Amino acid sequence: MFEFYSADYRRTLFPMSTNRYLIENGQDEIAEFLSRLSTAE
Protein backbone atom coordinates (compact mmCIF):
# COMPACT_ATOMS: atom_id res chain seq x y z
CA MET A 1 0.00 0.00 0.00
CA PHE A 2 2.74 2.46 0.93
CA GLU A 3 4.69 1.82 -2.28
CA PHE A 4 1.67 2.75 -4.39
CA TYR A 5 0.94 5.85 -2.33
CA SER A 6 4.55 7.02 -2.48
CA ALA A 7 4.72 6.57 -6.23
CA ASP A 8 1.43 8.40 -6.75
CA TYR A 9 1.93 11.14 -4.13
CA ARG A 10 3.17 13.91 -6.42
CA ARG A 11 0.57 13.15 -9.09
CA THR A 12 -2.42 13.69 -6.80
CA LEU A 13 -4.42 16.88 -7.14
CA PHE A 14 -4.11 17.73 -3.43
CA PRO A 15 -1.25 15.77 -1.81
CA MET A 16 -1.77 15.75 1.94
CA SER A 17 0.94 15.00 4.46
CA THR A 18 -1.75 13.73 6.86
CA ASN A 19 -2.59 10.88 4.50
CA ARG A 20 1.08 10.02 4.17
CA TYR A 21 1.49 9.95 7.96
CA LEU A 22 -1.52 7.64 8.37
CA ILE A 23 -0.25 5.23 5.74
CA GLU A 24 3.29 5.21 7.14
CA ASN A 25 2.20 4.70 10.74
CA GLY A 26 -1.18 2.99 10.54
CA GLN A 27 -0.94 0.59 7.62
CA ASP A 28 -1.99 -2.44 9.69
CA GLU A 29 -5.00 -0.63 11.15
CA ILE A 30 -6.08 0.63 7.73
CA ALA A 31 -5.82 -2.88 6.26
CA GLU A 32 -7.83 -4.32 9.16
CA PHE A 33 -10.53 -1.67 8.74
CA LEU A 34 -10.81 -2.32 5.00
CA SER A 35 -10.97 -6.06 5.65
CA ARG A 36 -13.85 -5.56 8.11
CA LEU A 37 -15.67 -3.38 5.58
CA SER A 38 -15.41 -6.01 2.89
CA THR A 39 -16.92 -8.69 5.15
CA ALA A 40 -19.68 -6.50 6.65
CA GLU A 41 -23.23 -7.39 5.81
Q: What is the DSSP letter of 31?
A: H
Report pLDDT for 20.
81
Report pLDDT for 18.
83
- Cβ pair 1, 23 in contact under 8 A: yes
Domain boundaries, the chain: 2-39
Report pLDDT for 1.
64
For 1-41, write each residue's pLDDT tens digit: 677 777 777 777 777 788 888 888 998 998 899 899 988 76
Report pLDDT for 36.
93
- Cβ pair 24, 1 in contact under 8 A: no
Q: Which residue pairs, CB below 8 angstroms and at least 24 apart, start in 28-35?
A: 30/1, 31/1
